[in-house]
Chains A and B, each alone.
Chain A
Amino acid sequence: MRAIYQTFLGLPWAALGPACAAYTLVGLSFGALCASQGVPPFVPVALSLLVFAGSAQFAALGVVLAGGSVWLAAATGIAINARLATYGLALGPAIGRSLAGRLLGAHLLSDVNTALALRSRDSGERRRVALGAGAVIFVLWNVTVGFGVVLGQWLPNSHRFGLDAALPAILFAIIRPALAEGELRRAALAGSLIALLSGAFLPPGLPVFAALGGLAVAPGLWRDRDHVSRGRLR
């Protein structure tokens, strides 16, 4: 099913466009934050190119700025990125045609392009959306982080403008169709609850992973019959 907005590069711009606007602001703030804290410019630039994971970059930087060791910072970032392994499992080999393509394409996995790609069931379409949207986000992220470093402390305080609410809202709007399936909705609700409660005693990055426990309350998802959801096909 193709809508009118899906013309340019065949990407779902209705969802990707607002996400790009949000990434722009978050990227600018990351670069500006690093610059204002006296972090050498190569650090945000290299992190954005080689790690390419916003929340992990912020968290790792936060640990270092709070006086933690670089190893603790790296471990925190890796824990936050543990969810990316699940995204890779969900998309699987669909991410690239050859082994080299998969090794490179996997670097582009993020929350938004995985959510967009999983809306399709066709593996070719998944690859196109995952890589296309991933490349758009990758370029945008690195350019805006670079700009942020240059702009430094001139940027307005994005916290005041409520921009930190944009990405969670966009991510929810993208995955909402999948939640039309009752079993999946129940698993997601239970998982979120587990994640919230476990936040009281788990280190950063792990509570979100604890949400997988929510799958236990959705036996239908484990059964071997083919149940095609209405939501996932959209």
Chain B
Amino acid sequence: MWWALIVTLALGTWALRVIGPVAGDLLTPSPRVERLAGAAATVLMVALVVLSAIGTEHGISPARLLGVGLAMILSWRGAPLGWVVVVAVAVTAGLRALGLG
């Protein structure tokens, strides 16, 4: 039964990944379509950040939400990536040590 999961998930995921590279090969996308696809990818990634800051497979975590939120503000104000990561992890761990989930 494990192999049914592995093979189905692997084939489904790979099919999703190759749609763009292969379709783009058959018909050259216009600059507008290319720009829209780039914008769509960015919008998805921001939503992924927001959703995973709030809840993941481990459930909702206020500590992580505050940690990632503060890191996003710092990043927005031009802080280097190293600091952004350290703040996200340190704030989340600190709040959890204080008993916030």
Q: How large is the interface on B (under 10, 10 to 19, 20 to 34, 35 or more residues)?
A: 35 or more
Q: Does A128 contact B (CB under 8 A)?
A: no
Asked if residues A89 and B88 are in contact (CB atoms below 8 Å), the reply is: no
Say whether A208 contacts B47, CB under 8 Å: yes
Query: Which residues on the A side are within 8 Å of B42 (C-beta)?
Result: 118, 175, 178-179, 184, 188
Q: Of the candidates B5, B16, B84, which one forms a contact with A60 in the assembled complex, judged by CB atoms under 8 Å apart?
A: B5
Query: In the complex, what residues of B have CB within 8 A of residue A165's CB?
Result: 53, 64, 67-68, 71, 88-89, 91-92
Q: Which residues of A contact B24 (CB under 8 A)?
A: 89, 92-93
Interface residues as binary, A156-198 with B (CB distance below 8 Å gives 1, 0 otherwise): 0001111111111111111110110000100111011011100
Using a CB–CB cutoff of 8 Å, the interface residues on chain A facing chain B are 14-15, 18, 22, 39-40, 42-43, 46-47, 50-53, 55-56, 58-60, 62, 64, 70-71, 73-74, 77-78, 81-96, 99, 102-103, 105-107, 109, 111, 114-115, 118, 159-176, 178-179, 184, 187-189, 191-192, 194-196, 199, 207-209, 211-212, 214-215, 218, 221-224, 226, 232
B: residues with CB less than 8 A from A are: 1-10, 12-14, 16-25, 29, 31-32, 34-58, 61, 63-64, 67-68, 71-72, 75-76, 80-82, 84-85, 87-94, 96-97
